[in-house]
Chains A and B, each alone.
Chain A
Amino acid sequence: MIEFNNVKKSFDGKAVLHGIDGAFEPGRTNLIIGTSGTGKSVLLKCMVGLLEPDEGTVLYDGRNFTHATRNVRRNIRRDIGMLFQGAALFDSQTVEQNVMFPLNILTEMPKDEKLDRVNFVLKRVGLENVNSKMPSEISGGMKKRVGIARAIVNNSRYLYCDEPNSGLDPMTAILIDNLIKEITEEFNITTVVVTHDMNSVMEIGDYIIYMYRGRKLWEGDSTEILGTSVPELRAFIYSNKLIQALKEGENS
């Protein structure tokens, strides 16, 4: 379980996060949604330690991450996997080397075992016979899958995904969404997805936080979100023509 209490962050005196609270439970796909520039990625970076919050704490299964010593923080980080917006695969390494990288650095596993584990996770994300390809030789959707495989190869307990659908066609985006949801349930991972894609919200949102100008305005799940009375959230949801049409169809 990931908990965060009163997380505040500002840059050059300009407040970006105004004290956000929340808790993400394991085995659920937790979504942070909101318009661009609302502080979603800043919150995510504060949670994984890429940015230091000015105030507040982030707890991983009760372990205080924000105020932890370097060693404790390092140990917690080894339980975290992250899929970056651009996948962030290492350009100079093959797909296999990319996925094996956390095992090489963080474990003492024998090489055969590592290779088995890599092949297992690659198969799990639907990629086979691409082990020797370089990241520049595979498509955007495949890169995202390799990124997911790398994030879970070390049996991560927490999975973060920063806009996993960006730059993908709608069909591939749905495949990636479903893959994230399946993996979350199968391995009982605490997954946090930052997105502004309403299709993802409706598809995989077990628990959703809506952020607006650095504040949490709403929380709930995908069955509740369409009936919200929060005007900012309604504006966000119904900016999507498809959902607007669906709602109109439902009403008529």
Chain B
Amino acid sequence: MLYLYACWTNPDIMRGIGKYFIFLGNLFIKREPLKTYMKQILDECIKVGIDSLVIVTIVSTFIGAVTCIQTAYNLVSPLIPRYVISLVVRDMTLLELAPTITAIVFAGKVGSNIASELGTMKISEQVDALEVMGINSVSFLGLPKIIACLIMYPMLVILAGFLAILGGYLAGTITGVVTPQDYIYGIRADFLEFNVSFALIKSFVFAFLVSSISSFKGYYTKGGALEVGQSSTSAVTNSCIAILVADYLLAELLI
């Protein structure tokens, strides 16, 4: 709320937001035919998705494991059945951890990469070279990255959800805080299918925010190597803020 108020009262932030929406408009105006982007989209899918597998696997498995152990630590009452531990792990994973924490990691890895790549292209006149050829550089450089993120990020979220629940299972059963039977029972108990849809809706929104904000920050880099670094940092911080604001708004609207 404070952030929204600050935006409303600060003309620079409002100008930046306006520029961001003009940037989004330019992504679709006078773009090249979509077939032109096919190879780029495939290349970006590999960079965005396949190259993020290791970090997403590590983060989500450990987050699931930690959630399981900490939930068990807090459930001190003997009246609460042990399967509640895995029920909590499942719902926390689907509702928050898989889409949101992965999005923060995604912003750090992919967002900074997009911003620094476009920033370097900008300062080394590669973007000007595209413009001189009569190519809409905003669309040519930004659209394949955004489409690739929209394709790959939901898949990463599905993988992260599965691995977090698996991480919780491994941590819970190895340490003995929950039996395998209880854990599996808890995972199946009171399951709401909408939670999966909610996680996927969030994943599309977060993918769009991270990729578009990072492309925007990279594309408008001016100066030299120092400014490329600043754009990259700014892309990650702005993406994280946008993710958290969108997370709150989606929770208000959809749950």
The complex places the Cα of A128 from the Cα of B134 at a distance, in Å, of: 28
Q: Are B134 and A77 in contact (CB under 8 A)?
A: yes
The complex places the Cα of A183 from the Cα of B131 at a distance, in Å, of: 23
Q: Are A82 and B30 in contact (CB under 8 A)?
A: no
What's the minimum C-beta distance from B191 to chain A, rounded to whole angstroms?
45
Q: Mark A64-96, 1 if CB is under 8 A from B, else 0.
A: 000000100111111011101110111100000
Residues of B within 8 A of A88 (CB): 124-126, 128-129
We find that the number of chain B residues with CB closer than 8 angstroms to chain A is 15
Residues of A within 8 A of B121 (CB): 90-91
Q: Which of A80, A82, A90, A105 is within 8 Å of B36, CB to CB?
A: A105
Cβ of A167 under 8 Å from chain B: no
The complex places the Cα of A74 from the Cα of B136 at a distance, in Å, of: 9
Q: In this complex, what residue of A is CB-closest to B134? A: A77
Cβ of A106 under 8 Å from chain B: yes
Cβ of A49 under 8 Å from chain B: yes
Given the known A-B contacts A77-B133, A80-B132, A106-B133, are A86 and B30 also in contact in the complex, defined by CB atoms under 8 Å? Answer: no
Q: Are B125 and A85 in contact (CB under 8 A)?
A: yes
We find that the number of chain A residues with CB closer than 8 angstroms to chain B is 26
Q: Are B132 and A82 in contact (CB under 8 A)?
A: yes
Cβ of B51 under 8 Å from chain A: no
Residues of B within 8 A of A104 (CB): 36
Q: Which of A49, A81, A89, A105 is within 8 Å of B135, CB to CB?
A: A105
Residues of B within 8 A of A81 (CB): 132
Q: In this complex, what residue of A is CB-closest to B133? A: A102
Q: Are B32 and A105 in contact (CB under 8 A)?
A: yes
Closest A-B pairs by Cβ, 8 of them: A77-B134, A88-B125, A88-B129, A84-B125, A74-B134, A78-B134, A82-B132, A88-B126
- Give B contacts to A, CB under 8 Å: 30, 32, 36, 120-121, 124-126, 128-129, 131-135
